[in-house]
Structure 1
Amino acid sequence: MSSGWNWVINALYIPLGICSLGVSGGLVQSCGYIIPESPVLTLGSSFTALCILNESCLDFGNIHANQIIWKIKNSVVPKEQYHVINRTVSRVTFSDTSTLATPLTCNILADGQIEQNIYGIAVTLGLPPEKPENLTCIVHQKSKREYIMTCTWNPGRHTFLPIDFHLKSEWALGALPDCKPQGVNNSCSTDDVQFFVNLEVWVEAKNALGMAESEHIDFDPVDIVKPLPPHKLLVSSAEQPAFLKLSWENQIREVEMELKFNIRYRISDSSDWMEIPPEDTASPRTSFTVQSLKPYTEYVFSLRCMKKDGKGYWSDWSEEKSGVTSEAKPSKGPPLWRKITSHSPNSWTVHLMWQELNRSEANGKILRYDVTVKAKPPLSRRLDKYSVNSTNLTLNLTNGTYEVAVTAHNRIGGSPRSVLLIPASNSKASVKDLKAFPKDGMLWVEWTPPNSNITKYVIEWCLVSDSSDCITEWQQELGTSQGAFLKGDIKPFKCYLITVHPLYNNSQGNGQSTKAYLQQKPPAKGPTVQTKKVGKAEAVLIWKPLTVDEQNGFIRYYTILYKTISGNETAVNVDPSKTEYTLSSLSSDTLYMVQMKAYNDNGSTSGPVFTFTTQKFGKGEIEAIVVPVCLAFLLTILLAVLFCFNKRDLIKKHIWPNVPDPSKSNIAQWSPQTPTKHNFSSKDQMYPERSFTDVSVVEIEVDDKKSFSEQDLKAFSVPKKEKNTSEGHSSGIGGSSCMSSPRQSVSDSDESESTQNTSSTVQYSTVVLNGYRDQIPSAQVFSRSESTQPLLDAEEKPEDNPGGGDSATPQQQYFKQNCSQAESNIDVSHFERAKQVTSPVNEEDLVGLAQLQISGHSSQLCASGPEKNKCEPTLAGALPPSSEGHIPRLETMGLHTATVDEIPQSYMPQTVRQGGYMPQ
């Protein structure tokens, strides 16, 4: 069953498809059609279409009109607009064709929901033509016998449809052929023109939706003619200087129409035309004389024509022709001005300047200028005359008031005089509120006049430039003026200095000046900034101002832009008159980038970038640090020097102790083979008789160290370091003796002994030479051994005597009195030694040592005392006689006992010889 229905549907689809192809393929037989066929519709109107199915197609299947679907292009028309009339007819209605588009198709939905196109039509929408308006016609003259009439009209609205226009005309004898526009729809031209007949003309418009025609107009073609302009125009000068004669030819015949003319003229260098009054040229003519012209002036002429009664149209203007009037005397004197240079209070250099007259003012070619200079009282009344061909004259005049007059002469005669008063001073008021600014593409200067009556104004101006001098130009204006345009060649982007001088009848006022630009643009460059001084938190910037040629306008202000590499930019505006600025509140030891911009009224330009680095320390900070440090260092050095000077002995003891130098010891000089080197003339009276040798050696042996009392031990103790005491009482080799040399010497101790052993050994001796080999020296000489051993307390410090008095013998007192002064200046620091006992000694040694020292000391006293003979028997047997026969005298002195620990160890007993002793 289903297969059977499919066969039916397929069988139906084939003819329906064929029928649908019939719409476009033009098949003879179709399944339906639409009426009306391809309609032209008025836009916005209503429209109804019918789709009618053919009876022959109904046999292919169960097809009904209710299966019809209407479409506009690919859009389905709403079913509310459908209406099924019967089985074969379906109607669709559109109330507004503005929504209708082409094509409009009729489609059917067959079994199986297959849509098939039945038929389609093209719908055209448009508007009917409107009535043409403003129909006008004109007859153009092409030549003397050829004319063309052209009519134009307003076609009206656009109809969206093709439209045809026809120009129709009729005259008394019948209709004339229609004129159809060519290429345009609002104009039509015809060469079939007849004068002196009336024509009726109108325009007819027609399209698919209707027809319309314009109003009918009636005219005689001769009344609408636009004739050709006159030609072969000639201009010639007349006998009078203010006259020019014109002649020409007309291109239309007088039998056809009479003409009237319109003549215009202008000065050759002007664009303003002047016209001859129409009533003077209303009659037909071929020539005309123009009057009231300026002498020696070139004029340009042109004319046109039209029908005399004023009907029709003016012709075009003829070609231009020029002519020059005859010469006459100059109508005015040349504009006169001056510049005064004062070399001294009584001498002037006056530069007279005047301008050439305009062609219309000169009335001919100027041949020369006559100049007269007349001095005013109280100067002499002399009148000087000059004749020059140029427009300037330089005069040397004395200070005063002069009247200068200039007259221009041409071939006909001279001009009126131009008079200028040169006063001794500018005593009158000057103009006020002088301004200059661009206006209408020119530079306008305006001012407020003073209250007095002004005869004229002189405006001076010059171009201000760094590359050229300011060349003055000037112009004169009437005394009633309050402003004027500069008449020279004013250039844009250039600065002009403008000065206005008011002139009075017998004096003049001071000039007022201002600067102006015709046009400005941004500066040519920006300022180049540099640093004058850089501190820790500030920097002084300097720059050179822009030159006048670089400014290109008025510099209103500068902007300084500065920033660190990573910081924000800071802007500072600076007055343009300044060339220096100080940046403050900067960071120390920081790199800054600086750039300047110059601003005028039309923009800005930046200069190059400059970098600088602020200092790490401010002004005075380094001095504030260095000076205290240096002062502290110097104070420390000074305190150290004072401390070292105060502790010099302690420092010397620990750092560089005295080490005896054996090579400098005086002991080596005591040998008989060594001549004496000392001569103390101040001591000649001590021993006037002869020299002597006094050797004291004390050796003490103690049997029982406990048997010494404390006072006895003090007698053997090492003396303290007291300069005056040690010098006054030392009489041994280790001490200081009277008139002995202050030179240091080294003791003859064995080199293998330590410093400790040396300091514990004492040697006492006083050696006075008794002459060498029976020779008596001329002076008493004392030599001493500079031993480093300490002296006995009993000998060095008499104040430590237990008895409380002076225990010294009279000889010792004598030595003290005579030697204290001489030895007071001796440095005894090297006599200090520590008290030490190197090793225990037996009692026999101590007793022997004590006896020997007592004997030695007694010998010294005996030899020195006044009663020396009493001591000789005592030691006669103890010491052998010398080779000279002299026996040393010894005197025993008291000895206190001391303990073994307190007694210093001494050298071995010395062998005394005549005249001295051998070194140990």
Structure 2
Amino acid sequence: MHFWSYKLPLIIWTLMNFLPLSSFELTVKNTQLKPCKTNKRLCVTNPGDCDLRPPLSLQRTLNVSCSYQITNVGSSVSCDWGQGSDLQTDASLIFSSQNRVFHCGSIFNPAAGLNVTVRVKDFRTGLEVWSQPHTVHLWNAYKPSRPSGVSVLGSTEDSLVVSFSWYSSHDGRCRLRHRPSSTHMWTHVADSFPAPASHNLTYTIRNLLPFKVYRASVACRGTNGIWSDWSSDANGRTLDRKPSRPSVVCYRVEKTVSSTPLLHLKWKAPEPDETGGRILGYQVSVHPNEKIQNLTETEAVLEVQEGNSSATVRAFNTAGLGAAALLNITAEKRVTLPSVRNLWISSLFPGNQTLLVQWTFPSSSPSSPISHVSVEWREEKRPSASRWSRLDSAVTSAVIRDVDPDESYLVSVFPVFHQQCGPPQALAASLQLGALMEAVDLKVVGTNKTAVTIMWAWQRKSKPIRVKGYRVMLRSDSDTRTVPLWPDQRQHTFFNLTPNTEYSLLLLADGAAKSTVTVTTHYDEVPVVATAAPVLLLAVAVIVISILSRTAYKSHFFPPVSSPRLSTTGQWLMSPEPKKRFERSILKIRDFEVTDVVGNKSLILLSPKSRTSSEDSSLLSTSSPGKTSHVGPDVAFETGPITDEPSYRHGDGVYAARDSVRDDNCCSPQKGGDIDQREVAEKIQLQEFSFLTDFLRNPVPEVATRLTGGSYLICEMDYLANGCIRPEAAETTT
């Protein structure tokens, strides 16, 4: 028991010195006071405070300050102290009077003098701290009532006029505070201003931003120096102001094949503190086209004419148009600027609420030097609210500060030469995830013996992960290569690989493999096949030419000859059992008889037209006996009287034909005059028989001579070619 009575005050004192104490204020109304049964001079808010008497070791100096206030609903005393505890503590006020208290609700009167003790208890440890009694004379601690009727009477571009009322029996002073409605931090006016007793007062708040809503409140104090509570807030909006500065504009001309050139304009949205007012939109005009457009974006694409032109960009709001930014677009001064490459954005969150933007320049130098690089970022939900940062041309990174963790941004980087801007490279990013793009769908699109070409795609990030960069690793048993991936690239080729080797391609996100593709390079026979191909083609060409030449030579020197074996006569001769007698009549002499105008019948005699040249006045005529008629260029008909012994003409001779036939295969010799028929047959040439055959097979329509019995001349070539003729004796008509 003795140990705890000695050690406990020391432990409590040590713990209380390490309690996280801060400023604390408590107000007690007279209706909340309760009397103590054991002590008639005490009034408390918690009956448990009546019986406790704090030891000296628990009493501390808390720098207590109290004020007394009279309101329409009663009176109250407010006390604050310089040290207190956090939200897990409980505080109470204990009021004691030098005299006996008959009614606790009446002790708060201007003539009273009270001792106030503050008790603070920590719920976590159960320890308590008691302040030393603080003496308060309520008349000297009187707190004026707060001002009322606060309102905004008028406003300008940068000021608000505030009106309020304050009722007091003595003159005093007042002070004012204000803040934009979108923030919670108050700005206090440095100097207080005099406040006569019971007067309506006005005060002008200056140095405000245009077209913003502000909140304002007022507090006043009397001669004792105690300030009243802050009044209720009054709301007011400042007026618009014309934009005072022109926008920073750059342009780029894009030439198209099928239409007029396109003018790309891009400008920086001025900050409100730079322009002196808000920006509702932009008026863009192009000369000499005289086109005027009102836009809310900070970029525009317009059609322009070839040659020199000019463009004007002016910001505007409800107060009117601001200063103009003028662009002189000269065809001779147009330059082609490249875009930046390998754009990537990393997040430094949560250590720092910033975004790190990095890029590189093309390896080839542009036609004109780059004067600076512009970095633009805007919220994706509010594309019109953009901000710019201008950097030196040698800088390849930028830091974007004051980034909202709950928003995603679109960041663009583009080079600028004077007023001409290059094509921008843009990438979406957020403070939580960094760049909002990820590489996917790695695949092989080309392979040979020493190279592999891969392709990938970029898409909006689908998983809530933060990646500082993507890479592709090509790996084999003896070789490993790694290349970084950038959003402006879609393809890469690995060269100098080993033929007929299996490689693994890994898509890495900060070292972690997302996907793997396997590929094998081709065999090394590809060059051998390529070398042998011309030789094979030459050999095929020689073979084809040889075949075509042989065919041409054969057709020229060895023309095709008809085979006698395929003829009717040849087939009959080669038959193993030929017929003993062939009864077919080849030529009938009576079929060659014609009737003249007298009624006499005569034979048609054929002879070549070698000696007749002037008698072809008609194709066919019927002459008297002994005359000659012509049919065609080489044939002549001779008609004569029918005799008992028929004859035929060949060349210059006329030969007789007899009835007698020796056998089936040859014709018996007949003599006409002194000429033997066999000798005549030997004189007959194949060409003459071919002519006779053609003539007999193709009757001439102009002749229109129908032979006796209604039959035409029929001659079989096969039989005539063998030199056998079996004419029959002509029948004599009576």
What TM-score, normalized by structure 2, do the two folds share? Answer: 0.44
TM-score (norm 1): 0.36
Instruction: Tell me which structure has the larger Cα radius of gyration.
Output: 1
Answer 1 or 2: which has greater strand percent: 2
